[in-house]
Chains A and B, each alone.
Chain A
Amino acid sequence: MAQRVIITGDVGAGKTALSQRFGVDVTREAREHGIKLRYVHVNCREYRGSLFLILQHVVSTFHPNFPRRGYSAEELLRILVQILDEENTYVVLALDEFDSLIEKEGSEAVYKLTRLQELRQNKPQRLSLICILRNLKAIEQLDASTRSTLQSNIITLQNYTKQQLVDILNGRVSLAFKPIATSEDTIGLIAEVALSENGNARFGIELLWRAGKYADAESSETVTPECVRKAVSSIIPAMRKNELATLGFHEKLFLLAMARLFKQSQKAWVSLAEAEQTYTIVCEELNAKPNSHTQLWKYLHNLSALGVVKTEVSTTGSRGRSTLIYLPRIPALELEREMGILLEKGEA
C-alpha cells in the first residue's frame, strides 16, 4: 500500500534524520519479510526542484548509466514504474526540501507523483512518498486536488528542548571524544547556544565539532567553554562592534567585569552575584561609584536582549533562585579587549 507522509519542523529539528532512520529500519524490515524495498532520499533543492532531475536520480539508483537526456519527466516516471514492476521492487521516496519542488514545478509535478497509482489500478502500489519541508505554508500553494492527496499524514517535529540537545550532544561526545575531554559545562553551553538557534541540533553538533577543533589547535586536554565561544564566533558573525559601543558607561563596566570573570573561571556560566562582585572591583579601579543590584539586573536584561549574554534562572543551587549568566557568542578574551578599547575611548 503506497503511503504519503509529510514531515515538517524547524531547521535542525531532525526531519531528515527521522526520515533516513525510518528508511534504514523499513528497508531492513522489508528484507526480513522477503520484500524488495528501497529507500531513496533526494534533496529537491540539490536538483533545483526539477521533477525530471529528481526522477533521474531515482532511476539512476537502479540503472547507474541511464542516459541523462532525451526524454521528458513523464516518460521518466513511466520508466521508473516499469523498472519497479520488472524488478518487483517498492520505493519509499523521501523528498527533502519539498518546497523547492513545489516552487519550481507547482501542483503538476506533485500531482503526477501522487496520482501515479490511479492510472494503474489492480497493480501493486510501488511508490510511497515522504515529503519533508520546513513550513506547511508551501503546501497551500498547491491546488485543492493535489493538496488532498498529500495531507493525510502529517508529522510535526517540535524544536528540541535543552535537555534533549544535551542528550544528543552527549551521544556524539561518547562517540567522538575521550571520556575526560569535555565537561558538563561545555556541553550545557553548546546546548544553550543551539537552543537560542531554535533548538537546531545540527548547529549544536557543528559547534561541538568546531570547539573540539579549537581545543586541538591549542593542544588543550579538554574542550573548555572558551573553545565553544571561539567556535560560535567563527560560525555566527560575532556581535557588531558598534552595538557594543552604544552601551552605557556602567553597562560597559559590567560587561568588562563579566568578560574578566569568564576569562579566569573557564566555566560556561557565572552567577549574577559573582558578576556583581567583579563589577564592584572594576568600578573601584576606574574610580566609579558602583550601581545597585537592581540597576545591574536591568543591564543584564538589556545585554541578553542584545544577544551578548544569555541568562537562565537556576533553582537547583543550594538555596533560593540565582541568575546564571552565559557568554555564548564572543570569546571572553576578545570581549575584554573590546570593552577596554571602548572604555578608553569613552574617557578620552
Chain B
Amino acid sequence: MDIENVFSSRLRIKILKILVRVGELNVSEIARRLGVNYKTTKTHLKLLEGEGLLQHKVFGRIRLYRLNEHSSKTKALQTLIEIWENESRQ
C-alpha cells in the first residue's frame, strides 16, 4: 500500500498517535479512545499491522496492540509524531 493511502485516514493516524503515547493497548480501549466501534477499529488495526507498523499479542480473549519495534518505518513515524506533539504543545 502506498503511503498516501495508509495515512489518508484520520483514525489510523489517531491510532498511531495513541500507541506512541501509551505504548500498548487492547482493541476495546483503542476503540473507546477513538470514539468509534470495535469493528472499525479492528479493520484499521489490521491494515496497519499488514503494513508492518503494528504488532499484537493475544492473551486469552485479550488482544494487545503496540508499535512494531522492529520496523524502521515505525521508528521514523514515532519520531515524527513525538516532535509534532511536542511542538504543538509549546
Contacts and interface: CB of A to CB of B under 8 A. Distances in A.
A281 interface: no
B23 A79 contact: no
B24 interface: yes
Interface residues of A, number: 13
Interface of A: 63-67, 70-71, 75, 78-79, 82-83, 86
Nearest to B60: A75
A65 B29 contact: yes
Given A65-B29, A67-B29, A78 B24 contact: no
A66 B62 contact: yes
Contacts, number: 35
Given A65-B23, A65-B29, A67-B26, A78 B60 contact: yes
A71 B28 contact: no
Interface of B: 22-26, 28-29, 57, 59-62, 64
Contacts of A70: 28, 61-62
Contacts of A65: 22-26, 29, 64
Contact of B26 (A64, A66, A75): A66
Nearest to A78: B60
A64 B59 contact: no
Nearest to B61: A71
Given A64-B23, A65-B22, A66-B62, 10 more contacts: A64-B24, A65-B64, A66-B26, A67-B28, A70-B61, A70-B62, A71-B61, A75-B61, A79-B60, A83-B59
A79 B24 contact: no
A66 B61 CA distance: 12
21 contacts: A63-B64, A64-B23, A65-B22, A65-B23, A65-B24, A65-B26, A65-B64, A66-B59, A66-B62, A67-B28, A67-B29, A67-B62, A70-B28, A70-B61, A70-B62, A71-B60, A75-B60, A79-B62, A82-B60, A83-B59, A86-B57
